Amino acid sequence: MFGISRKRMIWLCRSMATMLDAGLPVSRVLTVLSGQSSGGRLSAALDAARRRVEGGATLAEALRAQGGFPSLFLQLVEAGEASGTLERALRELTRYFEFQHRVWRRFLGRIAYPAFQYIAAVAVIALVTYILATLTNGGGSALGVLLIGYGTPLALIALYVFAVGVLGASRPCHEVILRLPVLGRVMEALALARFSLVMYLLSEAAVPVKQALARSLEATGNGAFAARAERAVAAIEDSGNLTDALRATGLFPAQYLDIIAVAEESGKTTERLDWLASHYADRSEAALGALVTAIAVLIWVTVAGIIIYFIFKIFMGYIGALNRAVG
Task: Over range 71-85, report the average pLDDT.
Answer: 82
- Residue 85 has what pLDDT? 80
> How many residues belong to the chain?
327
pLDDT at 141: 75
Confidence category of residue 82, pLDDT binned at 50, 70, 90: confident
Q: Considering the domain boundaries, does residue 249 fall inside one?
A: yes
Mean pLDDT of 4-15: 89
Check whether residue 308 and residue 253 sit in a common domain.
yes
Domain that holds residue 215: 103-327
The answer to whether the beta carbons of residues 224 and 231 sit under 8 Å apart is no
Q: Within 10 A of 264 (CB to CB), how many other CB atoms are there?
A: 16
Mean of the per-residue pLDDT values for the chain? 84
Residue 1 is assigned to a structural domain of this protein: no
Q: Is the pLDDT of residue 227 over 60?
A: yes
Candidate from 2-6, 175-179, 210-214, 257-261 with smallest mean pLDDT: 2-6
pLDDT for 137 equals: 63
One-letter amino acid identity for 161? V
| 21, pLDDT greater than 60 | yes
* 225 has a pLDDT exceeding 50: yes
Instruction: Provide the number of structural domains found in the chain.
Output: 2
Within-domain flag for 115:
yes
Kindly report the pTM of this predicted structure: 0.74
Cα–Cα dist 131/142, whole Å: 9
Verify that 56 and 107 share a domain, yes or no: no
